[in-house]
Amino acid sequence: GPLLAFAGAANRSAYFCGSRSSAAHICGANCTSSAVSKKNGGAAWLGTEFLGSALTSSLAAKKTGDEAANGLKVERAVCTMVFAGAGKSNATDAAKEALLAAIRPSRIGRDAVINTAMRDRIDAAIRAVEACNTSQDPLNDPNLSTRWKLIYTDSEEILGTKRPRGFRPNDEIYQTIDASNGKAKNEETVPLFGVLNVLNSVEATIRTEPPRRVQVKFEQFGIGGALKVKAPPSARGWLDITYLDRDMRISRGNKNHVFVLVRDD
């Protein structure tokens, strides 16, 4: 059941600062008193250093205050500050562009698993996009219910990096969410020994817990599009939606992994 890992990612309480509580680590690196931006492949690129020290008191307020109000204001301020020099009128677009540029050479995360520097750059870019989140109620956001394509994860279960070579999935990994009916479905395609494409899936029921958590109970696994196997009662997990708009979603959950998905049109 590697698709179970879609319900696994980093602890919600640390979704913004990672495992560190200091504002100096929002970007995933030690910060100085300057914001850095550069160009990479024509895209505005996030520098790993910016005015983190100036945000210490604000982030402390975020942790102790009302998250929906105080937290969103702090994150938005961080977003605008980091990309102030990116030459973009819209800081969110600049952050997303930088994230896509960081992800592009990673093969949806496979190379980042073995390349610490690449993984750190992507993690910094992910946090910057999360800082730009404006969806205050993602569980009731109409953008949530759609078919999403996975473009990055650090979950080796999902990537299949430890499976035998002939059984590893390709890059066609999807997640469909139907929030109004409490249903979700994950799908992967495995080019069996590079010859036959096999579709595997897992169906789940979901229950929302405001403001950002989705509880997941897996119901049934599908193997090869034909064989159906009932999921065990222990097949459960949760996801926190840390960024959501019409064309991108970022989720973190209970297995210390992060997932970046784009709308599949």
Kindly report the backbone phi and psi dihedral angles of residue 150, in degrees, each rounded to the nearest multiple of 5, phi listed first: -75, 130
Q: Tokens 């590893």 sit at which residue?
A: 168
Long-range contacts of 141-144 (CB under 8 A, 24+ apart): 141/244, 143/244, 143/245, 143/246, 143/249, 144/177, 144/179, 144/241, 144/244, 144/249
Position 1 scores a pLDDT of: 43
Between 79 and 97, whose confidence is greater? 97
Q: Which of 85, 46, 261 is nearest to 175 (CA)?
A: 261
3-state secondary structure (DSSP) of residue 141: coil
The Cα–Cα gap between 248 and 146 comes to 11
| pLDDT at 260 > cutoff 50 | yes
Residue 67 — pLDDT band, cuts 50, 70, 90? very low
Each residue's pLDDT tens digit, 128-184: 999 999 898 999 999 999 999 999 999 998 998 888 888 889 999 999 999 999 999
| pLDDT at 75 > cutoff 80 | no
Position 123 scores a pLDDT of: 96
CB 169 within 8 A of CB 189: yes
The Cα–Cα gap between 168 and 228 comes to 20
Position 63 scores a pLDDT of: 41
Each residue's pLDDT tens digit, 190-231: 998 878 899 999 999 999 999 999 999 999 999 987 899 999
Q: What percent of the chain has pLDDT over 70?
A: 66
CB 99 within 8 A of CB 260: yes
Each residue's pLDDT tens digit, 4-53: 444 433 333 233 233 333 222 233 333 322 333 333 333 333 333 332 32
Query: Does the CA dihedral 36-33-129-239 come out positive or negative?
Result: positive
- Residue 189 structure tokens: 């395609």
Q: What is the pTM of this model?
A: 0.71
